[in-house]
């Protein structure tokens, strides 16, 4: 994860630490607090232990344990192992005759994922559209199918009755049934989120909370946040880690954080800033992780099912 702008605020730093003549001994300004540290000594005399007091003196106090020669010889003999014989030409030819898929994981193993992208803003003039177009271009370049779930397209309002709270399935709104089906069929999720008041936007939570964690479970998710300021929505991203975990979807380690998104991305989602290379690198890393997790979890679901 990279943030492409420096903070403008000044941060008060603590008093610098000065290194003394001893490797493990530091002095904070003028003070010299007393402490005790174990310092290894080469060929110490019997009963040798070094007690450091301040910075200028030490005394030997406690004994060291000498290792018998047999232990040293055993350690050395255990490290010196015979060199294995060279492989025969027949073994080498059989290895080279293996198909590439048997020798390494195919790079196309996770291609063609069914990805569901949730948008987290409904405001007029939202920057979310630029970020979503940028992400769609990145997914299309990797041959994935992406379906966008935009809260503007659904009149779900606030969560009053989640889909799993209806006692009569016939009363569930049809559009909620349709979205839940898309969630269940997805291989992975992407959340494009703005940061409102240092947190997740209400539109995003209201949309995703309509559906139970069991619908999202055991699929990976990627976090993409943005802002018009210098922090890129990082505080919302940290909350999304916990939120998505509670929905039983595993967020991949890397995140895409875009500060000053209105400057970095054009209205059609083209990256046109000097920081573009960093943004492309972060996007490639995140999508590679999403592919890896989605492929692995898809195989495990098919092999073992979902744990109860």
Give me Rg for the CA atoms of the chain: 29
Give the C-alpha separation, 200 to 197, whole Å. Answer: 8
Q: What is the DSSP letter of 127?
A: T
Q: Model-level pTM?
A: 0.64
Give the C-alpha separation, 119 to 192, whole Å. Answer: 5
pLDDT band at 247 (very low <50, low <70, confident <90, very high): very high
- DSSP assignment of 9-38, as one string? S--PPPPPEEE-SSTT-EEETT--------
pLDDT band at 255 (very low <50, low <70, confident <90, very high): very high
Closest-CA residue to 224 (of 210, 209, 206, 204) = 204
Question: What percent of the chain is predicted at pLDDT more than 70?
Answer: 61
pLDDT of residue 93: 45
Question: Beta strand pairing status for 220-226 and 250-251?
Answer: parallel
Residue 50 pairs with which residues in a beta bridge?
60
14 contacts: CB under 8 Å, gap ≥ 6: none
pLDDT of residue 117: 97
């Amino acid at each position: 994860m990279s943030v492409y702008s420096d903070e403008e605020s000044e941060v008060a730093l603590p008093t610098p630490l000065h290194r003394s003549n001893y490797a493990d001994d530091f002095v904070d300004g003028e003070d010299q607090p007393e402490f005790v540290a174990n310092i290894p000594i080469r060929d110490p005399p019997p009963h040798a232990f070094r007690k450091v007091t301040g910075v200028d003196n030490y005394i030997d106090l406690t004994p060291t344990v000498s290792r018998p020669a047999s232990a040293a010889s055993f350690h050395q003999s255990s490290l010196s192992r015979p060199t294995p014989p060279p492989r025969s030409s027949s073994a080498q030819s059989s290895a080279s005759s293996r198909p590439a898929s048997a020798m390494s994981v195919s790079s196309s193993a996770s291609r063609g994922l069914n990805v569901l992208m949730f948008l987290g803003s409904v405001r007029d003039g939202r920057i979310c559209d630029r970020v979503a177009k940028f992400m769609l271009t990145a997914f299309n370049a990797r041959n994935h199918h992406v379906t966008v779930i935009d809260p503007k397209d659904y009149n779900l309002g606030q969560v009053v009755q989640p889909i799993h709270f209806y006692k009569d399935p016939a009363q569930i709104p049809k559009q909620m049934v349709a979205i839940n089906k898309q969630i269940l069929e997805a291989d992975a999720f992407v959340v494009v989120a703005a940061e409102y008041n240092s947190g997740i936007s209400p539109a995003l939570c209201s949309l995703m909370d309509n559906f139970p964690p069991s619908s999202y479970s055991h699929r990976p998710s990627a976090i993409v946040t943005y802002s018009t300021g210098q922090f890129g929505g990082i505080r919302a991203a940290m909350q999304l880690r916990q939120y998505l975990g509670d929905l039983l979807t595993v967020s991949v380690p890397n995140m895409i954080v875009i500060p000053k998104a209105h400057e970095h991305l054009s209205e059609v989602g083209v990256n046109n800033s000097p920081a573009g290379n960093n943004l492309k690198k972060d996007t490639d890393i995140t999508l590679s992780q999403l592919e890896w997790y989605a492929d692995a979890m898809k195989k495990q679901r098919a092999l073992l099912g979902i744990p109860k």
